[in-house]
Structures are given as structure tokens and as C-alpha cells.
């Protein structure tokens, strides 16, 4: 075969490849015409949606631009959503509250991400708690030994000096976001209610006894942030004196360690995740309000996006068949699985708790 013939053959093959790629792109675009979708998103997921890799996958594979505004997950149930395509709250409870109040607008929903509620604290506090028997280390992860007893101790007004930390002022506290507006605070309130109900899921019948305790706990905390992202930022900025322990999402510290590697190397020995036993899952469902909004479910279910969500943002998968390896992220002490879980109270019970805390 002559060089001219070989050259012609190669040129023909390349032309065919270009045509096939063009047809595939055209077909994909016909199936997924270019759209821009707008919605409300819990603050902890904004870094994922702002990630250039996410934007590229959404644009190149799904022909979609994802716009969003930050909103507390609980607030979404009462927002005007007429002009929106999707909601992206941070728990099944928030989702069910939205269904209760705005169900007629929903076309589809699916949980795509997960993150447990954890306590984030400082090395000095964790060391003191370990000496006091409040915290123990298991396979490099820290756990509250008896979450019910620990929270009861806080409710009864134990001082920091009582747990070996006289340098900290006042009573022991765990600071959350506003449970009326933000999901992480709402889920912490649900966990607290369960623990004050002898470690059992609280029901409406038990609320008259539990509600004053929950109300008293949150009143003592004073002003609370409306977003878990804002609370975590304040935790980092104001330090141990102002924010000794916060309740937040596991993914927040994973994300910080991954996105700020130089800073993390300097502070990693002084910031710790503590897992309450039991904890509650924060499930992150996409709630589509129309056909366009349903495309976000497809994007976030994409294996590439799921991998990105874990490795760079610390979200555990919400989909079956996908595993999360702790060795993939830049944070030691993560358990491979979260085993000690208690269900949240039902949405009608949480609605009563929210109304009491307003």
C-alpha cells in the first residue's frame, strides 16, 4: 500500500471519527437542549455547585447551567417557589416539610448526597474530654461515649471547669445553626429531642415533656447563624473561646481540609470531628419543580459528580452501588461507614419543635 493510499485512509478514518463525535454531540444536545435552571440550595452545598469541574460536567454532558441562591433548608418550605426549577435542601425532614406545604409544585425528588451530623471541636477540648471519659478514640475516629448523658450534662449547666477546661468561660455548650431556619440546627434539635427522650425517637405524646427542655437549650445559645456554612466559617475565624464545639456536617471539615491543604497542614492537629453515638443522617435530596429541574437529579447522580462530591467536598453518596473510601480524602479519622444512627422524629413532630423555637 502506497504512502498516498495510507494517508488517504487515515484522513478518511479521522473524518469519520469527527463526524461520529459531531453526531453524538448533536444527538446529546437534541436530547438535552441547552437550559439554565434556578433554585434554592443549602449553604453547605454551594462549594460543590461552584466547583469548576462540576460546572464543566453539567455543561458538557448535560448542556445545563445551574444557577442558585442560598437558603436555609427549613425556610424553603415557606418560600415563594413559583419561578424556580428545583430546591436542594439538606434532609428528608426538610423535604417532607416542603412536600406538606408545597407538594403541588413537585414533579420528582431523589436523595443524591448524604452527610452525618457531627460535632466539630478543638484538639485541647477533645483531649480534655478523652481524659474525662466523655470521648473515646476508635480506629482513629473520636466518638462521644454516652451522647444522652453528655447532652444531659450540658442541659444541667455544667461549667467548662467541670470537664477539665477552666480556661474556657461559662457553661459547656454545643453551638448549632438556627433550627427554625437551617437544617443542621434542625437536625441537631431532633437528635437532642431523641436523646432527652431516653434515646428513643420522640413522638407527639412525649412532646409536652421534651419541648421545654429543647427550648431552654437553644435560648441559652443566644444568636445563631442561619447557615451551616456561615457557622463553620465563624468557628474557624473566632476560635475556641467563641465557638468551642459546633454541630455541623461531616463534609464541611473534609471539604475544608481538601480545599485548603496548606492551611489544613498547619491546623489539622488542633481541629477534630467528634461523632455522636448515635447520630442522624443528613440526606440531601434534589426536589424538582418541573422537567428542567429534574435534570439536576441526573447531573448529581452522574458517577463523575458523585466522585467529585466525595473526594473534594466530603459528601457520602446517596446512591446504591457507589462506595466512599476514606483514603480518598485529605482527612484522617474518618470511619468507612457510619453505623450508629437514630431516625429523626417525624415531620409533624419536628414542625411542632420548630414552632416552639420560633
State the pLDDT confidence band at 145, using cuts at 50, 70 and 90: very high
- 166-207 tens-digit pLDDT: 999 999 999 999 999 888 899 999 999 999 999 999 999 999
Q: How far apart are CA 271 and CA 265, in angstroms?
A: 11
- 231-240 tens-digit pLDDT: 998 999 999 9
Q: How far apart are CA 43 and CA 135, in angstroms?
A: 29
Q: What is the mean pLDDT of the chain?
A: 89
DSSP labels, 37-99: EEEEE-GGGHHHHH-HHHHHHHHHHH-EEEEEEE--TTGGGGS--TT-SEEE-S-HHHHHHHH
The pLDDT of residue 10 is above 70 = no
Domains in the chain, ordered, with CATH?
3-115+283-328 (3.40.190.10), 116-281+336-357 (3.40.190.10)
According to the model, what pLDDT value does residue 328 have?
87
State the pLDDT confidence band at 24, using cuts at 50, 70 and 90: very low
Q: Where is pLDDT greater, at 54 or 267?
A: 54
Can you tell me the mean pLDDT for 206-227? 95
* CB contact at 8 A, 163 and 132: yes
Q: How far apart are CA 6 and CA 134, in angstroms?
A: 76
Name which of 38, 351, 47 is nearest 228 in CA terms.
47
Number of residues that this document lists for the chain: 358
pTM of the model: 0.82
CB atoms under 10 Å from CB of 150, counted, come to 23
When mean pLDDT is compared across 2-6, 150-154, 256-260, 274-278, the lowest value belongs to: 2-6
Helix, strand, coil shares, percent, the chain, to 5: 55, 20, 30
Distances (CA, A) of 281 to 30, 123, 248, 268, 311: 38, 25, 11, 25, 19
* CB contact at 8 A, 220 and 279: no
Can you tell me the mean pLDDT for 338-346? 93
According to the model, what pLDDT value does residue 21 have?
47
According to the model, what pLDDT value does residue 17 have?
46
| Three-class DSSP category at 118 | strand
The proportion of the chain whose per-residue pLDDT surpasses 90, expressed as a percent, equals 69
According to the model, what pLDDT value does residue 20 have?
45
State the pLDDT confidence band at 31, using cuts at 50, 70 and 90: low
* CB contact at 8 A, 294 and 106: no
Can you tell me the mean pLDDT for 108-137? 96
* CB contact at 8 A, 254 and 271: no
Amino acid at each position: 500500500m502506497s504512502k498516498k493510499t495510507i494517508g488517504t485512509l487515515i484522513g478518511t478514518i479521522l473524518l469519520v471519527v469527527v463526524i461520529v463525535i459531531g453526531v453524538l454531540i448533536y444527538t446529546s444536545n437534541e436530547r438535552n437542549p441547552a437550559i439554565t435552571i434556578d433554585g434554592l440550595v443549602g449553604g453547605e452545598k454551594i462549594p460543590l455547585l461552584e466547583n469548576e469541574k462540576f460546572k464543566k460536567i453539567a455543561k458538557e454532558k448535560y448542556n445545563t447551567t445551574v444557577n442558585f441562591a442560598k437558603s436555609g433548608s427549613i425556610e424553603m418550605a415557606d418560600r415563594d417557589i413559583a419561578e424556580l426549577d428545583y430546591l436542594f435542601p439538606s434532609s428528608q425532614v426538610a423535604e417532607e416539610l416542603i412536600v406538606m406545604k408545597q407538594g403541588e409544585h413537585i414533579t420528582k425528588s431523589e436523595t443524591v448526597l448524604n452527610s452525618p451530623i457531627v460535632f466539630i471541636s478543638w484538639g485541647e477540648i477533645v483531649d480534655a474530654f478523652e481524659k474525662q471519659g466523655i470521648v473515646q478514640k476508635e480506629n482513629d475516629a473520636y466518638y462521644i461515649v454516652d451522647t444522652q448523658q453528655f447532652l444531659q450534662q450540658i442541659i444541667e449547666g455544667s461549667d467548662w471547669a467541670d470537664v477539665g477546661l477552666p480556661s474556657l468561660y461559662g457553661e459547656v455548650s454545643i453551638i448549632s445553626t438556627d433550627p427554625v431556619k437551617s437544617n443542621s440546627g434542625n437536625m441537631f434539635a431532633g437528635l437532642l429531642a431523641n436523646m432527652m427522650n431516653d434515646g428513643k425517637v420522640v413522638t407527639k405524646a412525649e412532646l409536652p415533656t421534651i419541648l421545654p427542655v429543647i427550648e431552654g437549650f437553644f435560648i441559652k445559645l443566644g444568636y445563631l447563624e442561619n447557615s451551616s456554612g456561615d457557622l463553620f466559617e465563624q468557628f474557624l475565624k473566632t476560635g475556641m473561646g467563641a465557638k468551642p464545639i459546633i454541630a455541623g456536617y461531616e463534609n464541611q471539615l473534609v471539604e475544608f481540609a481538601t480545599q485548603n491543604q496548606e492551611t489544613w497542614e498547619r491546623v489539622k492537629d488542633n481541629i477534630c470531628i467528634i461523632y455522636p453515638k448515635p447520630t442522624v443522617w443528613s440526606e440531601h435530596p434534589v426536589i424538582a419543580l418541573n422537567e428542567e429541574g429534574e435534570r439536576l437529579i441526573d447531573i448529581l447522580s452522574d458517577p463523575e459528580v458523585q466522585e467529585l462530591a466525595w473526594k473534594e467536598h466530603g459528601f457520602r453518596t446517596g446512591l446504591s452501588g457507589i462506595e466512599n473510601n476514606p483514603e480518598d480524602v485529605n482527612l484522617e479519622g474518618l470511619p468507612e461507614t457510619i453505623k450508629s444512627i437514630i431516625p429523626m422524629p417525624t415531620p409533624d413532630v419536628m414542625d411542632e419543635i420548630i414552632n416552639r423555637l420560633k
